[in-house]
Amino acid sequence: MNQKEGWDWETKNKIIADIKEWESKYIDIRELTPSPDGEKIAAIVQPETRKFTLCVNGETCEDLFDRMYSLKFNLENEPICLGYSDYQWTVIIGDKCETRWENTFDMMWNLTLSPDTKSIAVNFRTPEMTQGVCLNDNPWEETFIEVRDVIISPDGQRTASRVQINPRRELDIFWFYEKNYTIAVDGKPWDNSFMSVYGGIFSDDGNHVAACIMTDLSKYTIAVDGKPWGKEFGGCWEPIFVPKSSDVIAPVLTPQGWTLAKNEDPIWPYFMQVWKQKFSPDGKKLAAVVALASGKWTVAVDGVPWGITFNQMVLDPVFSPDSKKIAVVVKNNNKWTVAVDGVPWAETFDNVWDPVFSPTGDKVAVRAEKDGNYYVVIDGKLNKEAYDWLWDPQFSPDGLKILIRGIKEGKYFRKILSVDEIIK
């Protein structure tokens, strides 16, 4: 991330805000969220009963809202959230809530940022009780009876959603067979509709959308741009696109078991379960979470499972930037840890968050909870200092330092530690 170059990687410790003081000042504080660079801490605060505003580093906006939620920061370190006043919702941007969308709606939800955080998309409901997606303050022209989820293209220029195209007839069990669901892209529904649609995703170039569809009772397949694959399956999980291509990979349930299919044809061996498939950044490796048997979860890379299994959970695999390594959060015998290329760390935790690779891919950092305290952990080694709460650590562009954002003794701080200090 280029943005990281401009961050302060020198100041070792900054106390940014006294959160305890906020707690005494306001009825409550919600969605406490730090900026990516750690210099700001924001929350939705309630200064008086049922009145909310944004508080950034202790300073609040002048305006009060009846409802506020979905607080996030963009990579420019600006807070973004949804606010409701005068019976209208809108998007609010900036430390002082200085930027508002011109469009306001009856209801807004699923505030979504594009990967570069420059585009903002939200689901909305109109006073006529129709629904759509609003991208960068431009609502879809065509709205629908119902929309579910914001699906945003990688470049943030296009949006899609799962939409209901026909009004439901109460208790009419034959309505369902009329295929009332499809995907709308930029507000335009696909030509085909289906009994159910879930798990939509854009291709890298934003020109294609794939989703799971239900074609009959217990029959599922993948549709790409509205066209179903030729084969049907007992079940499908969320598809992904092959990088820089319109080919689609999805887990499918066949009579032999679960496998990955590419454009309808199985390409992997069969497992008891397959999901969370992911390509490496260079697009050359394909990893997924698989179950070899009940309670035997692991990661498979290009169809070959790791030699170790975990008996409870394996979360999303994370590739290193150089595509060489995979780190994943695992749960075994009620303890969480991280496994890197099939080797779990010796240290276990009560909770551990998603792995973060260093830019060169040689180190893995996480935040973890142990005995009620939170720690930064690098390559399985706990930093000695315990915190009351932490957010994900971030490596400096050279990978030698790490930014820690957390709370200790009621104060929000940002710290820069040398990676060597922790792993020694």
Q: Which of 361, 376, 389, 356 is nearest to 417 (CA)?
A: 376
223-282 residues in contact with another protein (CB under 8 A) are 234-235, 253, 275
Residue 387 within binding range of another protein, rule CB under 8 A = no
8-27 residues in contact with another protein (CB under 8 A) are 27
Q: Which of 382, 366, 375 is nearest to 406 (CA)?
A: 375
309, 296 Cβ separation under 8 angstroms? yes
* Nearest to another protein of 171, 346 (CB atom): 171
Q: Could you tell me which stretch among 13-21, 346-354, 380-388, 405-413 binds another protein (CB under 8 A)?
A: 346-354
Minimum distance of another protein from residue 303's CB (angstroms): 22
Q: Return the amino acid letter for 149.
A: D
Minimum distance of another protein from residue 27's CB (angstroms): 5
347, 382 Cβ separation under 8 angstroms? yes
* Nearest to another protein of 165, 423 (CB atom): 165
* Nearest to another protein of 100, 148 (CB atom): 148
Q: Could you tell me which stretch among 8-16, 288-296, 349-357, 403-411 binds another protein (CB under 8 A)?
A: 349-357
Q: Which residues pair with 112 in a beta bridge?
A: 121
What is the C-alpha separation between 32 and 45, in angstroms, rounded? 9
Minimum distance of another protein from residue 107's CB (angstroms): 4
| Residue found by looking up tokens 């006294």 in the block | 18
Q: Which of 6, 8, 53 is nearest to 413 (CA)?
A: 8
362-381 residues in contact with another protein (CB under 8 A) are 369
- The H-or-E segment that residue 79 falls in is strand 79-85
57-76 residues in contact with another protein (CB under 8 A) are 67, 69
Neighbours of 114 (CB within 10 A): 20
What is the C-alpha separation between 93 and 98, in angstroms, rounded? 6
Residue 151 within binding range of another protein, rule CB under 8 A = no
Residue 149 within binding range of another protein, rule CB under 8 A = yes
136: helix, strand or coil: coil
Neighbours of 314 (CB within 10 A): 23
Number of residues interacting with another protein: please give it, by CB under 8 A: 46
CA atoms within 13 A on the CB side of 368: 30
* Nearest to another protein of 243, 257 (CB atom): 257
Residue 146 within binding range of another protein, rule CB under 8 A = yes
By CB under 8 A, name the one of 10, 171, 191, 307 that touches another protein: 171
Residue-wise burial string across 226-244, b where 16 or more C-beta atoms lie within 10 A, e elsewhere: bebbeebbeebbbbbbbee
Radius of gyration of the chain from its Cα atoms, rounded to whole angstroms: 23
Residue 166 within binding range of another protein, rule CB under 8 A = no
Minimum distance of another protein from residue 280's CB (angstroms): 22
112-141 residues in contact with another protein (CB under 8 A) are 123, 125, 131
59: helix, strand or coil: strand
Using CB under 8 A, list all residues that contact another protein.
Answer: 27-28, 30-31, 46, 49-50, 67, 69, 107, 109-110, 123, 125, 131, 146-149, 164, 168, 171-174, 176, 180-181, 195-196, 198, 214, 217-218, 220, 234-235, 253, 275, 313, 315, 350-351, 353, 369, 389
